[in-house]
Amino acid sequence: MSLFVAGTDTGVGKTLVSALLVARYARELELVYWKPVASGAATERDRTRVAELVPGAGTAAEAYLFADPVSPHLAARREGESIELERIGARWRELSSVFPGAGFVVEGAGGLLVPLDDAGALLTDLIGVLRLPVLLVARSTLGTINHTLLSLEALARRDLAVAGVVLCGPRDEENRAAIERLGGVEVIAEVPHLAEVNPATVAAAAAELDPAGALRPWLARAS
């Protein structure tokens, strides 16, 4: 199987958590990082960033890659393109064939309800096309209870499976407990702020991620 790494908002740590997942499990599982839709490539490309942070990591090219650091639907419009879920689904099937033994860490763009086109397709529609369980990344700080519960509600309304939640930032036991109790979900891991983000610090943080191995069954590809 594979995991879709989604966020409660932009900038919550999806790319870092994706890199940590690959680093944590790459020694025992064949994993490939893939971000189907990415914007902001003029300043930073998340695929390149993950490859830098986890040397030797398998990565796959985006189905859509845009220069401007704006919502995907706007970035696509500015470049005269339109994001098509069918094209992403076809790319997903192609990758599954090219890497038949691999599990995928698939990263979303922005929050769950970010628009992909002007007709109303949302990131949740893409998750539905890929049929992947969601690992929800959220901030640990003030406001996260509301944002996380709203995101969990959006997933539940669409019958999208949730593998768990990862909190990024300073440890906050009250916020964690409230999310688990009110959201009916497990906080799988808490990722502290990294003063520097480089291969060494990512490797160290990955060693502490998911100590119980709860995410391994989601990432292990059935033979």
Domain residue limits at 170: 3-219
| One pLDDT digit (tens) per residue for the chain, 223 residues | 799 999 999 999 999 999 999 999 988 899 999 999 999 999 999 999 999 999 999 999 999 999 999 999 999 999 999 999 999 999 999 999 999 989 999 999 999 999 999 999 999 999 999 999 999 999 999 999 999 999 999 999 999 999 999 999 999 999 999 999 999 999 999 999 999 999 999 999 999 999 889 999 999 864 3
For residue 17, what is the domain's CATH number? 3.40.50.300
| Count, residues in the chain | 223
Which entry of 7, 18, 25, 35 is annotated as an active-site residue? Answer: 35
Residue that the structure tokens 């890497």 belong to: 99
Task: Give the start-end residues of each E strand in 66-159.
Answer: 103-111, 134-139
Scored b (16 or more CB within 10 A) or e, 146-165 reads ebbbebbebbeeeebebbbb
- The pair of three-digit structure tokens given for residue 151, joined into one six-digit string: 């995101």
**How many angstroms separate the CA atoms of 147 and 139, rounded?**
9
Domain count, the chain: 1
DSSP 126-152: HHHHHT--EEEEEESSTTHHHHHHHHH
- The pair of three-digit structure tokens given for residue 125, joined into one six-digit string: 């529609």
Name the pTM for this structure: 0.96
**Catalytic-residue membership of 35:** yes
